[in-house]
Amino acid sequence: MPTIQVPLAYQPTARQSVFHACDADEVLYGGAAGGAKSHGLLLEAFVHCVENTGATAALVRRTFPELNGPDGLIDMSRRLFPSEVCTYSEQARRYRFVNDSSLHFLHFQYEADVQKAKGMQFTFLGIDELTEFTEYMILFLYGRVRSSRSIRTRIRCTSNSTGVGHAFTKARYVQPVLDGRVCADEVWQPEPTETNAHPATRAYIPATLDDNPHIDPGYESKLDDLPDVERLALRHGIWDLPSGPEAVFKAGVLLAMRRGATGWQEPQPGRRYLHLWDLARKRDWVVGGTLDVTELPAQLVAFTRYRREPWPSITADMARRHAYYKTALGATSTTCYDSTGVGDVVGGYLEIPLDECEGYTFTARSKYEAIESLRFVAEREALKAPVAGHDPRWGHEDRAEHRIERLWEEMALYAWDDASLVQDCVIMLALGAQSLRARIEYLLEPLRETMRRATAREEEAHAERGLLDEEPYGALFAGVQGEAYRCPVE
């Protein structure tokens, strides 16, 4: 085939040049806003199609407007790709190259949508904003990358440091750099396993707004005006502070939940333990946590998260946990599980005494009340959980999806519009939140009664003097109600 030379309206930044030169099988580029991530990803896909005859490439976003809107991937590609090399089909949302390569633009808004890609095969996969996708979606799409030709397959992703896929992305690409096991920009290979003797090589190439000389000067000030957590994540690419503007559980509340956590604990004499289980269907996660609720704040002392386990194995785990925490002298166990859907069937097979076990059925209203109770409890520092780590006592490997970090990820990103969010850990904690809230309300009642009496006396005194204010002492009472109340030991 004759060589075609055409101008390309693209001048890479220094960090983009590192990205383009990286030879790893999988590369994550970015970590912050403004690093020219999307342009770099477009060029990677373009070069792959030009250099490999008959290649099939895909560029993916979570929603269609992100793909097709102004300054979306399609809009940028039509300004970047020369028409002498490829032509774009609006109907198919696909470029066809002169060497018979093709580049497809795809979106998958919901987890189930990725099933539409089941029969697809790509030699190049580019995912823009990787952390906007769930772990299941990411791994499913990665599984579509293969080649029956001599073309070397590539996976290229860009991302900010926040989103529903934060924990997976961080564990797969970023954590080795944060731990000092490898350097940024370095190509490395995970250890082989029984199921994967030749794991793909990986690299993380950080880039921020400071690495992009082409950025609008006003964009930096917009990022600097964001709240602290969002600013640290989007402006500086900090991976340990995931959050979102609609988050139910604010960053300060999550930090307070970590302070004073006792960590994983063995059964202790005379303690009261509450075991919480969010049960799930095959593709979702089963999450089990144990709270020491002897006094406030309650402590999360055991945690496990797994999926694709047969129901007899799950019910055996639940019974084992329940019995294990009763082994200490005078200790008590109560198990609470989500009995919605399959949970109701599973509950019938539990070998736990009926008076020590309770199913909780979620409706739209009861789910809201449970999560609102969890927020109420967390804001009053009445619940603590370990910062990081894997609870090794329950037979699961020390992998990212089994670690407590998934709890923090879910809580940081949880919003009331949760249809597309991973929320198994949040639901697990919410199962125990209402009983904790009832105890807090009980403890707060004497304070509230004192304030009510003080307000009444103040109003009477003002009325006698003819000085009744519109908001005398009641405003102070309202302020106290809204503050975080540190609960004493019951």
Confidence of residue 479 (pLDDT cuts 50, 70, 90): very low
Question: pTM, whole model, 2 decimals?
Answer: 0.53
- List all residues 6 or more positions away from 183 whose beta carbon is below 8 Å from its beta carbon: 177
Per-residue DSSP letter, 139: H
Q: Which residue has the higher pLDDT, 130 or 178?
A: 130
Taking the C-alpha atoms of residue 198 and residue 195, their distance in angstroms, rounded to an integer, is 9
Predicted pLDDT at 444 = 66
Query: Between 3.50.50.60, 3.30.230.10, 3.30.420.240, 3.40.1190.10, what CATH number should domain 252-437 receive?
Result: 3.30.420.240
CA distances in angstroms from 92 to 96, 102, 426, listed in the order given: 10, 11, 40
Kindly report the CATH number that applies to the domain delimited by 14-236.
Answer: 3.40.50.300
Task: Kindly report, residue by residue over 124-138, the tens digit of the pLDDT.
Answer: 999 999 988 988 899
Task: Kindly report, residue by residue over 336-375, the tens digit of the pLDDT.
Answer: 999 887 666 677 778 898 889 888 888 888 899 999 999 9
**Residue (of 109, 112, 141, 140) closest to 125 by Cα position:** 141
Contact 82, 8 (CB under 8 A): yes
- Work out the number of other CB atoms within 10 angstroms of the CB of residue 73: 24
Q: Indicate if the pLDDT at residue 467 is higher than 60.
A: no
Predicted pLDDT at 188 = 94
- Work out the number of other CB atoms within 10 angstroms of the CB of residue 210: 15
In terms of DSSP bridges, do strands 154-160 and 202-207 run parallel, antiparallel, or are they unpaired?
unpaired
CA distances in angstroms from 31 to 208, 233, 358, 359, listed in the order given: 7, 8, 43, 42
Instruction: Give me the residue spans of the domains in the chain.
Output: 14-236, 252-437
Percent of the chain surpassing pLDDT 90:
41
**Residue (of 385, 170, 373) closest to 265 by Cα position:** 385
Examine residue 297 and say whether the peptide bond preceding it is cis (omega within 30 degrees of 0): yes
Least confident of 143-147, 226-230, 256-260: 226-230
Task: Kindly report, residue by residue over 191-238, the tens digit of the pLDDT.
Answer: 988 888 889 999 999 998 888 888 887 888 888 777 656 777 787 787
Q: Indicate if the pLDDT at residue 11 is higher than 60.
A: yes
Predicted pLDDT at 472 = 37
Phi, psi of 370 (to 5 degrees): -65, -45
Radius of gyration of the CA atoms of the chain, in A:
27
Predicted pLDDT at 344 = 65
Taking the C-alpha atoms of residue 446 and residue 483, their distance in angstroms, rounded to an integer, is 16
- List all residues 6 or more positions away from 251 whose beta carbon is below 8 Å from its beta carbon: 228, 229, 241, 243, 412
354 burial level (CB within 10 Å; 0-12, 13-18, 19+): exposed
Predicted pLDDT at 147 = 86
Predicted pLDDT at 434 = 86
Predicted pLDDT at 339 = 85
Q: Indicate if the pLDDT at residue 3 is higher than 70.
A: no
Mean pLDDT taken over the chain: 83
Taking the C-alpha atoms of residue 343 and residue 338, their distance in angstroms, rounded to an integer, is 6
Predicted pLDDT at 470 = 41
Q: Indicate if the pLDDT at residue 461 is higher than 70.
A: no
Percent of the chain surpassing pLDDT 70:
85
**Residue (of 304, 288, 307) closest to 136 by Cα position:** 307
Q: Indicate if the pLDDT at residue 267 is higher than 80.
A: yes
User: Please, what's the largest Cα pairwise distance for the chain?
Assistant: 100
